[in-house]
Amino acid sequence: MIQYNEALHLLEEIGSLRRLRSERIPVLDSVGRILASPIFSKEEIPSFTNSAMDGFAIFSSDTSNASSSNPVRIRVQGLVAAGDLQAYEAACANKSGVAVEIMTGAPLPTGSYDAVVKVEDVVVVKTPSGEIQAIEVSRPSRAGENVRLQGTDFAEGQLVIEDGVRIAPEHVLACASLGINQLNVKTLPKISLVSTGSELVPPDEPYLAQGMIRNSTGHFLLTALSQFGIKSDYLGIVRDDPTRYRKVLERALADGAEIFISTGAVSLGKFDFVSEVLKDMGATTYFHKAAIRPGKPILFAEFGSGKNKALFFGIPGNPVSTAVGLRFFVEPFIRSLLGLARENSLKASLIHDCPKPEGLRCFFKGKARVGSSGLEVEALKGQASYIVSALLDANCWVILPEEGTLCSAKMGVEIVPLHNAFEKGVLS
Ligand code: AMP
Ligand code: MG
C-alpha cells in the first residue's frame, strides 16, 4: 500500500516527463487553456495619447498663475470627440491661450496641449446663444493631468502573458486590446472513461429493477472533466466480464487513448477483475491501494510503449471514492502534464472533533466558513463513500493526516475547494 504523498510524487514525476503538444486556437476558445508560448505586445497601447476625462484640453503653462481669487480665462475653440479625426486635426493648429473641448478617449491634439481640465472643475462661459466661449480655471494644472499617454498600458515588445498561465477572461481582454486573435496553447490529453458493474443501468433509466443502480459516476466524470476543457470519450458501461472489458480497453488503446479512467472492480471482491486484466495485457502497475479514505483500492498503471503508451487510473466505484480519485489523483496528474505546479491548500481550524481511521489520509466532505478567528471547517455528517447527498452540502474537501484516530476540535487542517484543478489564482 502506497502512502498518499508518495503516490502524488510518482504521479507528478510521470506527468511532468510526458510532454504535451501544443495547438493554435482562437482566443475566444482559449479560456481555461494553458498558454504554451509567451505573448509579447507588438504595439503600444494606448496607441495615441488621449483624454481621460470629459473637459477641456489646455496648455498647462496657461494656468500657472490661476487661483480662486484670480481665475484665468481661456478662450475655447472647437470640440474633439472620440474617433473624430477632423476636429482633432483642426485643433492641432491651436496655439497657447486657446483651449479645446475634449471628450474621454478623444486624441489629445499635438502641439503643446499637455493637460485636460475636467468640465466640473471649470466655470464655462457661454455666449447668449449658448455656445461655449471660454472657461475660467481657478487652479494651476499639472502637465499630464487627466491625460493617458501613448504606451502606458502596454509598451511595444512587452511581455503580456507568460507561458504556463491558464487563460482567463482578463487575458482575452488584453489580447483583444492588442489585436491578438490566436494563441498557442497546450493540447489537452485524450481521456477515455469506462464504468464497470453488472448492476449499472444508465442514469436516464426511469425504473430500477431489484438490485440495479444508476451509473452516476460516468456522468460525474464527464462533466467534471469538461469543466477543465477536457472532452472525454465515454466508452460506456461494461458488465463484470473480464473478456469484454479487455476488448473495450484494447479498442480504445488502438484509437489513441492517452489516459483511461475506469471505475469499479479494483477492490478484492470476486468480480474485481481490473488488476488481472491489466496484468494479462502487460501493463505496468505503479500502485494498487493507497493509504487513503475513501478510495483505498485505487490503482495506477501504464500500458505498453511507443505509440500505444497510455496511463490507467482504476478508481473504486463508490461515488465519493470516484470523486476523491479524480480530485486527488487524476487532477494532480493532469496538472503536471500541463506543466502546472502543485496546487496549494488552505489551513482551517476544525469546528468539531473528527474521528478517523489510523494510518489513512482522509479526504472528507467539508464545509468551510470564515469565523471569528479565521477560516473554520466542519467535517460533515455522512462521510461514507456511497453518500452523495452530503457532497451537495460541502464546499471543500478536508484533508486529515495519516497519524492518529482523532482530529480534535480547533486543530489546524488542510482544505481545498471541491474543484480547482487547473486554477492559477488565490489558491495555487
Ligand atoms: P466496486 O468498486 O465495483 O466494488 O463498487 C463499489 C460500490 O460502488 C458498489 O456498491 C457499486 O454498486 C457502486 N458503484 C460502482 N460503479 C458505480 C457507478 N458507476 N455509479 C454509481 N455507483 C457505482
Ligand atoms: Mg463492481
Residue linked to cell 467534471: 224
Domain boundaries for CATH 3.90.105.10 within the chain: 23-44+158-186
Distances in Å between the Cα of 194 and the Cα atoms of 54, 162, 206, 270, 296 are: 62, 36, 22, 19, 19
Mean pLDDT of 299-308: 81
419 pLDDT band, cuts 50/70/90, is confident
What pLDDT score was predicted for residue 228? 80
Classify 346-417 by CATH class.
Answer: mainly beta
Distance 253 CA to ligand 2 centre (A): 22
Residue 266 has pLDDT above 80, yes or no: yes
**Protein residues with C-beta less than 5 angstroms from the ion ligand 2:** 197, 264-265
What pLDDT score was predicted for residue 425? 42
309 pLDDT band, cuts 50/70/90, is confident
Q: For residues 203 and 188, what is the distance between their CA atoms, to the nearest angstrom?
A: 27
Between 400 and 164, the more confident residue is 400
Distance 391 CA to ligand 1 centre (A): 17
Mean pLDDT of 152-169: 95
User: Which residue's CA is minimally distant from atom 17 of ligand 1?
Assistant: 317
Domain boundaries for CATH 2.170.190.11 within the chain: 50-148
Distance 200 CA to ligand 1 centre (A): 8
Looking at all shown ligands, the one closest to residue 323's CA atom is 1
Which of the listed residues 262, 274, 318, 387 should we mutate to test ligand 1's pocket, taking the one with most ligand atoms within 8 A of CB? 318
User: Which residue's CA is minimally distant from atom 18 of ligand 1?
Assistant: 215
Pocket of ligand 1 (CB under 6 A): 195, 197, 199-200, 213, 215-218, 263-265, 267, 269, 316-319
What pLDDT score was predicted for residue 307? 56
Looking at all shown ligands, the one closest to residue 315's CA atom is 1
Mean pLDDT of 261-282: 94
What pLDDT score was predicted for residue 308? 57
Fold of the domain spanning 4-20+188-337: Molybdenum Cofactor Biosythetic Enzyme; Chain A (3.40.980)
Fold of the domain spanning 23-44+158-186: Molybdopterin biosynthesis moea protein, domain 2 (3.90.105)
What pLDDT score was predicted for residue 427? 40
Which of the listed residues 263, 288, 320, 389 should we mutate to test ligand 1's pocket, taking the one with most ligand atoms within 8 A of CB? 263
Strand partners, 34: 166
Instruction: Give 50-148's CATH code, choosing from 3.40.50.410, 1.20.1250.20, 1.10.645.10, 2.170.190.11.
Output: 2.170.190.11
Collapsing DSSP to helix, strand or coil, 105 comes out as coil
Closest ligand 1 atom to Cα of 263: 16
CA terminus-to-terminus distance, the chain: 29
Q: For residues 359 and 213, what is the distance between their CA atoms, to the nearest angstrom?
A: 32
What pLDDT score was predicted for residue 341? 87
Distances in Å between the Cα of 417 and the Cα atoms of 85, 155, 168, 345 are: 52, 37, 19, 8
Collapsing DSSP to helix, strand or coil, 208 comes out as coil
Q: For residues 126 and 101, what is the distance between their CA atoms, to the nearest angstrom?
A: 13
What pLDDT score was predicted for residue 184? 97
Which of the listed residues 210, 213, 387 should we mutate to test ligand 1's pocket, taking the one with most ligand atoms within 8 A of CB? 213
What pLDDT score was predicted for residue 217? 98
Residue 426 has pLDDT above 50, yes or no: no
pLDDT in tens, 338-376: 888 898 899 999 999 999 999 999 999 999 999 998 999
Distance 263 CA to ligand 2 centre (A): 8
Looking at all shown ligands, the one closest to residue 237's CA atom is 1
227 pLDDT band, cuts 50/70/90, is confident
Collapsing DSSP to helix, strand or coil, 404 comes out as coil
Mean pLDDT of 274-288: 96
Domain boundaries for CATH 3.40.980.10 within the chain: 4-20+188-337
CB 234 within 8 A of CB 218: yes
DSSP symbol at 66: -
Looking at all shown ligands, the one closest to residue 197's CA atom is 2
Strand segments, DSSP code E, in 209-335 are 213-214, 233-238, 259-263, 284-288, 292-293, 299-303, 310-315
Mean pLDDT of 270-294: 96
Distance 240 CA to ligand 2 centre (A): 7
Distance 264 CA to ligand 1 centre (A): 6
pLDDT in tens, 43-90: 999 999 999 999 999 999 999 999 999 999 999 999 999 999 999 999
Distance 320 CA to ligand 2 centre (A): 14
421 pLDDT band, cuts 50/70/90, is low
Mean pLDDT of 201-210: 95
Residue 398 has pLDDT above 70, yes or no: yes
What pLDDT score was predicted for residue 238? 97
Q: For residues 227 and 420, what is the distance between their CA atoms, to the nearest angstrom?
A: 10
392 pLDDT band, cuts 50/70/90, is very high
Looking at all shown ligands, the one closest to residue 271's CA atom is 2
Mean pLDDT of 201-222: 96
Query: What rounded mean pLDDT belongs to the chain?
Result: 94
What pLDDT score was predicted for residue 58? 97
Q: What angle do CA 201, 202, 208 make, to 5 degrees?
A: 50
Percentage with pLDDT > 90 across the chain: 88
